[in-house]
Amino acid sequence: MAGSIAIIDSGGANIASLLFAMQRLGYDASLTTDADVIGSADRVVLPGVGAAADAMQRLRDNGLVDLIRGLQQPVLGICLGMQLLADASEEEDVDCLGIIPGVARRLQVRDGFPVPNMGWCPVTRIADAPVLDGIEDGSYFYFVHSYALPPSEYTIATARHADAFSAVVGRDNFIAAQFHPERSSADGARLLRNFLEMRR
């Protein structure tokens, strides 16, 4: 079970709903850019909305890039935070943290599939992972995004918006979701609880 929880302030994120979701689960979390707080936390969350370049610049300005890369405790990336964990993003061709191999690519615009993708999409599990324990395959989660990581060997679950993309990825102690678990009802709450209660 998690003790201290640090939410990295990457700028531009609607943190209130994430903080409330943690509180509903019985956990208090701190929003911070303090390297000592982040480094010593039992769990770290990297959320984000907006532009990858702006978020990466904020992380660099606060001296957090190398710190995040070296974290050993469980880390959860959410939405843009998932893309920041990748090697790079096509959005403004920005280099990201390089923790989970891959490049966040813009979703393709097709008839019936506008970009950004906004709304509830079913998520298909393709690998076992504790973060998805107790969540039925095909459950719906809430997405708001224009970029996503293509499926890869690090993909735990996929969703579709014209084409398949990674909905959940993982590598070592890093887990990330393209959707917003804090806005995804009971299944989103279950994912957050699973993350918070994962063994280190």
Task: Output the DSSP codes for 112-141.
Answer: TB-SSEEEEEE-EE-S--GGGTT--TT-EE
> Is 180 in the active site?
yes
Beta bridge partners of 117: 145
Q: Which of 121, 145, 182, 197 is catalytic?
A: 182
Q: Which of 79, 96, 145, 161 is catalytic?
A: 79
Q: What is the CA radius of gyration of the chain?
A: 15
- Shortest CA distance to 177 belongs to which of 137, 136, 199, 144? 144
Beta bridge partners of 43: 5
> Is 161 in the active site?
no
Q: Which residue has the tokens 């009802």?
A: 185
Q: Which residue has the tokens 């993350």?
A: 195
Q: CB of 61 within 8 A of CB of 33? A: no
Q: Which of 91, 145, 161, 180 is catalytic?
A: 180
Alpha helices per DSSP H over the chain: 15-24, 35-40, 52-61, 65-69, 80-84, 185-196
**Catalytic residues, which ones?**
79, 180, 182
